[in-house]
Chain A
Amino acid sequence: MSYNVNEKGYYGKFGGAFIPEMLYPNVEELRQNYLKVMAEPEFQKEFNQLLKDYVGRPSPLYFTKRLSEKYNTKIYLKREDLNHTGAHKINNTIGQILMAKRLGKNRIIAETGAGQHGVATATVCALMGLECIVYMGEIDIARQAPNVARMKMLGATVVPATSGSKTLKDATNEAIRDWINNPIDTHYIIGSVVGPHPYPDMVARFQAIISEEIKWQLQEHEGTTKPDYVVACVGGGSNAAGAYYHFLDDEDVQLIAVEAAGLGVDSGESAATSVLGREGIIHGSKTLLMQTNDGQITEPYSISAGLDYPGVGPMHAHLYKSGRAEFISITDDDAMTAGLELCKLEGIIPAIESSHALAIFEKKQFQPNDIVVVSLSGRGDKDLETYIKHFKL
């Protein structure tokens, strides 16, 4: 079985491009060009140069001594939190802004939930001198004020999404509607491995640098390119897709996807799509999503804005259904506790999204010799407010 996308844009039965005809020319232009452009040596050179000099890659693969001792196994952290702008999101926006330039686009749109992808997009637009419009749910704008300010400082226009539930899924709808209304000059930088084909594959390829580095870094540390486990949190699934990418077809490497259980998977306040979702269509992709019996998309909940998405990327739907990846869901409380533990044991303040991935060590026992690589997708600066409230700091 292959876990990569096929030539029609599907991962198993998931994926495809379920888009209105109005979007067809835009998406088709991208589909016809993305692999060709990415293969150009000039593109590769520019992409890698920016990842190195601007983003600060390679990001370290750090062996945690005290955390490993506590859980009696070998835990490595892939330090995406040390990237410029503080998360893995920038790997994708660097790639896509170069793509947009190659396609002759001069206007960039994006959606954002917590604001991390919005900031990463505003950053690369500033870098390239392109116009940037970020759609963000009205409710998220109110609860993520520092990131809204960052985007503005970087020269982006932040447009509130006031439709539907006024959060990430609606911001994504608004970005798609903008693209329908501006089909010629605009590129839509989607923020995760979601949306119509070729987006999930393109974003996964830009994030694949994460697992590419893990391989040679692990060789240096352990004399093997293969971890026993790769663990990542999944909102849409881009940091996970990047961390898994070069291990997908090597079944010796076990993949663990961590979803946000919110207040608990049965509480009605959750974002654990693999448990609560059914097959359907969201944002142009056939995948697993949370919905009513009647097929209306429902609003998820998680303490972490970056995991608060009612779907998952089609790659992950396939990894789940095929059993290739193990899916674990972690509650708000357990994630927060694990985040604080990393602060105390390793001196690293993680993003709450990443804290979900760290919380699995309380749920799952690993062998002392297991090599477990955790994608530390982002840093916790943006979440201080939430940490302060939660722990009454």
Chain B
Amino acid sequence: MNKINQKLQEDKKLLSIYFTAGYPNIDDTVNIIQNLENNGVDMIEIGLPFSDPLADGPTIQASSTQALKNGMTTEVLFNQLKDIRKSVNIPLIIMGYFNPMLQYGVEAFCKKCQEIEIDGLIIPDLPVDVYHDEYKATFEKYGLINVFLITPQTSDERIRYIDSISNGFIYMVSSASTTGAKSGFGDEQTNYFERIANMNLNNPQIIGFGISNNETFTQATKYAKGAIIGSAFVKHVTNGGVETINEFVKKILI
């Protein structure tokens, strides 16, 4: 069974962390992953940096720009992750924009992911219907789970459709925003969380965007199976360096 599905069956709320590969330093990738697992994180999104990350706010933009300056490429990332399964067990997801994957070759990309035992992909700018018509078969051939996003503006009908073609979890974007834009949840968010929870979807939901501390993590996981932290973690690493990851995780999971 895919590690993501296994993890989702565990009887606990899941903490997933996003970081930008090759940031702050090109060789931090593996170190960060190991550190996150050792500190009790359940799942990791490895950000493949892109020059034009449309869905991201300033923090992840800046980390992506720096990672690219550091020399990160698709090939470099795959090389760094070559032996990752010798030391790391939790589900690993690559999150990146579609163009770098397209240039690598979607099939070659998926094949490589299978080789190094990546479990899933999140590609914000690969539309649901294009995935369904052109790439679903390839992803499945290589055992990859593709994760789709929904937002407070996504209609029920479309959520049902996305649910029907998902086979892992649904990534619930907490509010209409780019990453790192808002913090704290108001009524609008909790109403939306509740609405989705009441839809009884086949796939569990994990909430991302706007989660930065124990409070927002707890709020989100009241309604969903887990939560994803991105910008707040990238900020923490920017200020405190890789050695202080344990402090960050501890504060979330107190």
Contacts and interface: CB of A to CB of B under 8 A. Distances in A.
Interface in B101-146: 101-104, 124-128, 130
A18 B127 CA distance: 6
Contacts of B19: none
B52 A282 contact: yes
Nearest to A299: B51
Contact of B74 (A20, A176, A182, A295): A295
B50 A183 contact: no
A19 B128 CA distance: 10
Interface in B42-64: 50-58, 61-62
Contacts of B53: 173
Given A18-B130, A20-B125, A164-B52, A280 B178 contact: no
A73 to B, nearest CB: 42
Interface string A166-202: 0001100100110011111000000000000000000
B18 to A, nearest CB: 15
A294 to B, nearest CB: 4
A181 B153 contact: no
B68 A296 contact: yes
B99 A281 contact: yes
From B57, B68, B178, name the one whose CB has the most chain A CB atoms within 10 angstroms: B178
Contacts of B169: none
A176 B100 contact: no
A371 B241 CA distance: 67
Interface string B142-174: 000000111101110010000000000000010
A103 B165 CA distance: 31
Contact of A294 (B57, B73, B153): B73
Given A19-B125, A163-B61, A177-B178, A281 B102 contact: yes
A280 B102 contact: yes
A55 interface: no
A183 B176 contact: yes
Contact of B154 (A21, A184, A278, A281): A21
From B55, B101, B104, B148, name the one whose CB has the most chain A CB atoms within 10 angstroms: B55
Nearest to A181: B177
B127 A19 contact: yes
A20 B61 contact: no
Contacts of A313: none
| 3 A-B pairs with the lowest CB-CB distances in the bound complex, closest first | A295-B103, A295-B100, A21-B149
Interface of A: 16-22, 24-25, 163-164, 169-170, 173, 176-177, 180-184, 278-284, 291, 293-298
Interface of B: 50-58, 61-62, 65, 68, 73-75, 97-104, 124-128, 130, 148-151, 153-155, 158, 173, 176-178, 181
20 contacts: A20-B125, A21-B124, A22-B177, A164-B65, A176-B54, A177-B57, A180-B176, A180-B177, A181-B177, A182-B176, A183-B153, A184-B176, A281-B125, A284-B54, A294-B74, A294-B75, A294-B103, A295-B102, A295-B104, A296-B51
